[in-house]
Amino acid sequence: MNHTNKLKIFNDPIYGFITIPNTLVFDLIEHKYFQRLRRISQMGLSYLVYPGAHHTRFHHALGCMHLMQKAVQTLRFKKVDISEEEEEALLIAILLHDIGHGPFSHAMEHSIVSGVSHEQISLLFMEELNRTFNGSLTLAIQMFRGEYHRKFMHQLISSQFDIDRTDYLKRDSFYTGVAEGNINSERLITMLNVVDNELAIEEKGIYSVEKFLVARRLMYWQAYLHKTGLAAEQLLIRVLKRAKELVSEGTDLKASSALEYFLKNKVEIQDFNASVLDIFSRLDDYDIISAMKEWQFHEDFVLSNLCAMLLNRDLLKIKFRKKPFSDKKLKKHTDLFIEKHSVPDEVARYFVFTGEVENLAYSTDKENIHILMKTGKKSDVVKASDLLNIKALSKLVTKYYICYPKQS
């Protein structure tokens, strides 16, 4: 019988060697649900802005697992008691936290499925894997849901300062080349501690936390909400919306069987049984790209044009500003499009539209980031920081945009 070496090592361009700690984690990584993450880009269509941003959710998940190993080591060194079972559960929860992402990460949450978040689908995958692995993910699921009595463990997985963010900021900054996002994740993790069952960062790490929050804000404006990437994502959402419309009217569209299923059916959270989850697990970026390569030649004006625009990076013009755009401005561009292409108003609305984006680097409404002062007291980062703009980072910034075709 062939025994696979289950304690393999990955070479990561950011952290160097990442080791797989045990056979259960290895078997989860080997599972088809997890391997699918190799085919889902971490930053959606951002590679149309930053050509290097082709890294995947697979990269990110392994990086998170590595940082979680470091966090456990740090906390144990500081006399925080973490059992072997708890450590394994933490590693599994962070490894699988993004397993529910659809093609191109966030763009699909509102198009392929109806009002189902990737967190909900991640949980469904974890529960399905728990059945496959005879209940060995039960504790990880409890932690992921925030139901485990040791609160700081859930905070490590999901909070305003969690392992997920410490990896994606550093990783996305590396692959995009946006240097402003580069944080010192190892130093941040070295500064972790636990007080009253809650995660805190030691006072000497406050400058690293400030840098982390500033980096988060800059990465949102420069990368995640970059206007060109945003225009591309809006086109992709509209491609799927149009494809669904056409299919519901009886048009036959070429697509993979998995994509075809989601085009033909309205899938909400209550519809996710084991077989629907399995169909969802067959969906990735490749389904969407290959469908668009076919659809760019379709006779439907909207579908063919939207697909060609995305494939050839001939995107819409997009303008940002601090106030909403007037109906008059929207009408002007809509009328120009109608006149140029002799199409009805409802067709023009696919190519001319407005919207808004929000950026909040630090929310004071959610669980705060605690700084552990030398006195032993906890203080919120906004109070503890002498950096004025940390307070400013806790204000919600809204920008409004308008998209319309470039005039040739």
The pLDDT tens digits for 2-16 are 556 677 899 999 999
Lowest average pLDDT, out of 16-30, 89-103, 153-167, 362-376, goes to 362-376
pLDDT at position 361 is: 85
Does the pLDDT at position 1 exceed 50? no
Q: pLDDT of 356-393, one tens digit each?
A: 999 888 887 777 899 999 998 998 888 888 766 677 78
Mean pLDDT to the nearest integer, 226-254: 95
pTM of the model: 0.94
State whether the Cα torsion 356-320-105-69 is positive or negative: negative
pLDDT at position 68 is: 98
Mean pLDDT to the nearest integer, 245-262: 96
pLDDT at position 203 is: 93
